[in-house]
Every structure is written in structure tokens, then in C-alpha cells.
Structure 1
Amino acid sequence: MNEKVFRDPVHNYIHVNNQIIYDLINTKEFQRLRRIKQLGTSSYTFHGGEHSRFSHCLGVYEIARRITEIFEENILKNGILPSPS
């Protein structure tokens, strides 16, 4: 699979390398999240508050991917836990 890249206002670019994740993103149920506002009617008051459930879910995916990457590097390869920041 080729890498798919999504532009995100918080995380900059979200890279998807896993075909299963990309197939999930392309389902009609996941795409429907583009039309559901995460912040409800607050976009009428705060014009920068345009945040959909779709972009929220992509952001959650990116954070989970980063955490998993850290676990893989530190726990599986080195056998150590990451130091608290």
C-alpha cells in the first residue's frame, strides 16, 4: 500500500501506512463523520471552531499511533519503559 497523507490543523500531517486503517477511513460510516460537528454550534461564535468528528478521529488515530510507536521502540526492542516526562 502507498502511504496516504491527511492534512490536520493540530497534528500537521497524518500518515496512514496500514491498509486496514485506510479501508476503515474509506467506509461510508467513517466518511459520514465529516458532516458531524465536534463542537456543535460553537462555530457560530468562534469562527475558527470548525472541527468535525472526522478530523477528531484522525487526530485520535495519530496520537494512538505515536504512543504505539514509542511502546514498540522502548518496550519491545529495549525491554524498558519510557521515562516519565
Structure 2
Amino acid sequence: MSKPFNMELLLSGVLTGSHATCQRHVRQSKVIQVEIAKRWQRATPWAWQRKHLIWFLEHHLSQRSEATQYYYTLTVRLLARRLGKPWVFNL
């Protein structure tokens, strides 16, 4: 039996700011992880491609407020930075 992926540990190197902000990014990254795993069967961020994150931002968040979309975009940018990818996500 394998351990579940620890998103907090992954993001710990790039998280800055207040405790509440860091917790929000961790919480949102877990939501992103679950949704991508359900749709694409990619369990860890190391297996993700840019198209998976674009899908999440465009389709999963399409009915959410602009503020929610903005905060998730910030989290996606942190994930891309942590993965060392040169991906650009526009708001």
C-alpha cells in the first residue's frame, strides 16, 4: 500500500506569506490534485502536463467567481514554479 502524496511537503519550498495564505494554497492544490486524478488518472503533480492545469482552470472553475479563479491561478503558478516548469497561465 502506498502513501498518499503530500502536497504540503511539495509546496513547502515555494510557499511564502501568512499562515492563512499558505494554508489556502495547500488546500487548493489538494483540490486540483483530486480533480486531475479523477479526470486524467494522474495522481501526482510530477505526472501532470500543462494541459491538465489549463483544463482545471477553464472547465472545473468555469462556474466560480472571478476571485476564486484568480486565487486558483496563483496556486497553479506556485505548482508550476515548484515543478520547475516554464508554464505561463494567464488570468
> What's the TM-score once normalised by structure 2's chain length?
0.26
Relative to its length, the structure with more helix (as a share) is: 2
Relative to its length, the structure with more strand (as a share) is: 1
> What's the TM-score once normalised by structure 1's chain length?
0.27
> Which one has more relative contact order, counting CA pairs under 8 Å at least 6 apart?
2
Q: Select the structure of larger CA radius of gyration.
A: 1
